[in-house]
Amino acid sequence: MILSQRKCILAPKIIRMLFLYNIIITLADFLLKIIALFNPKMKLFVDGRKTVFEILSQKINPQDKTIWFHAASLGEYEQGLPVIEKIKEKYPSHKIVVTFFSPSGYEVRKNNNVADVTIYLPLDIKSNAQKFIKLVHPEIAFFIKYEYWPNYLNELKKYNTPTYLISGIFRENQLFFKWYGQFYRNALNTFTRFFVQNEASKQLLLQLGKTNVIISGDTRFDRVAAILEKDNSLDFISEFKNNTLTIVIGSSWPKDENLLVDYINSTSLNVKFIIAPHNIKAEQIQQLQNSITKKTVLFSEKEHKNLADFNVFIIDTIGILTKIYSYADIAYVGGGFGNPGVHNLLEPATFGVPIVIGPNFSHFAEAIDLVNLKACMSITDEKELSNAFDTLITNQNIRQEKGQTASEFVNTNKGATKMILENIKQK
C-alpha cells in the first residue's frame, strides 16, 4: 500500500520533470540552429536532421518489418556492429534502421552496407519521438552502451516494443544513482533487458530494483576478433615497413605527439614509425610533419615514392588504421593525455601487439584489464615513454610475451553477441 502511494506521488513529479525536459530540449534545438551558422560541425549536426522524416517516409513502408539500432557515435556503432550483422542474418526480411546522434559517427558510417537506412536521430523532443517511432515502427529496438532518451523510450513502451541495452556499462557517478535522478531512473523502466559488460554494472542496476540484467560482456571483443578473419593486407604499408621493426601510433592527439616526436627525433634504434593522427586537418598534419626531423612521407603523397626509404609514415586519411595495426610490432594508442581518455586498445590487442598509452584510462574497463595484465604500459612523461619503447624494441621476449597476453585477453572475452541473440524476443 505504501509503495503504491509512493508511485502515485512520484508520477505527477515525473510528468512535471518531463514537461521541463521537453522545454529544455526545444530551447536547445533553437540554440543549436544559431550555433550552426558559425560552427561547421554543428552545421552537420543540424542540417543532417532536416531530411530525416522525409528519408524515413521514402524508405520505410507501413507494412515493412523493421529493427532499430541507435548509436551515439562511431565507437558505439563499432561496438554494436557484431549484433547488427547477426540480427540481419537472423531476420533477413526485416529492414535495419541505424541512427546516430553525433556527426563524427554518422559522417563516417553513413554509407555502411549493413543497414537499410542510416540517419541522424532527431532531438529528443516529444513530437519528434512520436513521429519517428510511428514511421519506423520497430519490432525490436537496441540502444548501444549509452544514451537514454526519455521521449523515445516512452514511445517504445507505448507500442510495447522490446527494447534492449547492449554492452551497457553503469557507474556510481551517473544520474541514475543520485538522489535527484528519479527522472532518469524512470527512463530505465522501459528496457526489456539490460545486457551489461560487468558485474559492477549489474550490481548498480540491482540497487535500483532491476532484475532483468544479464552480464554478456562487451561486443567489441567479437568485432575485433572477427578482424583476424579478414584481409588486412596493405601493400604500401608492407613496402614502407620493409621488414623493419615498426611502431604504429594510432589516434594520436597533440599532447601525445609532443612526447612522441621528441622520441622519434632522438632515438638511434633501428625502428620505423607509422602515425595515424586523430585529427587529419591539413594544417595539423603539416605541423606534425614539420616537427619531425627524420625522413617523413604522407599517405596523400605516397605515389611514385620509394616508401622503404622513409622512417616515418603519416596517415592523413581515415578508415585504414585497423589494417595498419596488423603490421605493428608495438602500438601506441592516443588519447590518454586527454579527457575522457585513451582510444580503442582492442584493435592492436587482437593482433597480438604490445601497447603503450597515456595515463588517462580509468573510464575504460579493457584498458584497466590490459594494464593489470601487463600487456599494456601506461606512461606519464617523456622519460617513461622512452623507457617503454626502448624496452619493447630491444627485448624481443618481453615484446612477444606482452603481445601474446593481449591476444589471449581478446579471445577470452569473446561471446557477448551470441549471448545477446539467445536472449532477445520480438514484439
Helices vs. strands in the chain: H and E counts, helices first: 19, 14
Residue 292: inside a domain: yes
Phi/psi for 258 (5° steps) reads -60, -40
- Cα angle value 421/424/427 (rounded, 5°): 140
Distance CA 170, CA 80 (A): 17
Specify whether 408 is catalytic: no
Q: Are 376 and 407 within one domain?
A: yes
Q: Are 250 and 362 within one domain?
A: yes
**How many domains would you assign to the chain?**
2
Domain that includes residue 251, residue range: 232-413
Question: Mutual orientation of helices 254-266 and 382-394 as an angle, nearest 10°?
Answer: 50
**pTM over cut 0.75:** yes
- Overall residue count recorded for the chain in this entry: 427
Q: Walk along the chain (427 residues) in steps of 10 and give the mean pLDDT of each run.
A: 38 79 91 93 92 96 97 92 96 97 92 95 96 97 93 95 95 89 89 95 96 95 93 98 98 96 97 96 96 97 96 95 97 93 95 98 92 98 97 98 98 95 84
Residue 7: inside a domain: no
| Grid cell for residue 266 | 632522438
First to last CA, the chain: 32
Distance CA 371, CA 363 (A): 13
Q: Are 144 and 241 within one domain?
A: no
The enclosing domain of 264 has a CATH number of 3.40.50.2000
Note the pLDDT of residue 129: 97
3-state secondary structure of 379: coil
Residue 167: inside a domain: yes
3-state secondary structure labels for all residues of 10-46:
HHHHHHHHHHHHHHHHHHHHHHHHHHCCCCHHHHHHH
Q: Are 71 and 185 within one domain?
A: yes
Which of 217, 249, 273 corresponds to the end of one domain? Answer: 217
Distance CA 213, CA 285 (A): 46
CA trace torsion 151, 152, 158, 164 (10° rounding): -130
Note the pLDDT of residue 11: 65
- Give the contacts of 51 (CB within 8 A, at least 6 positions apart): none
Residue 65: inside a domain: yes
Which of 166, 192, 217 corresponds to the end of one domain? Answer: 217
Which of 76, 78, 155, 257 is flagged as catalytic? 76
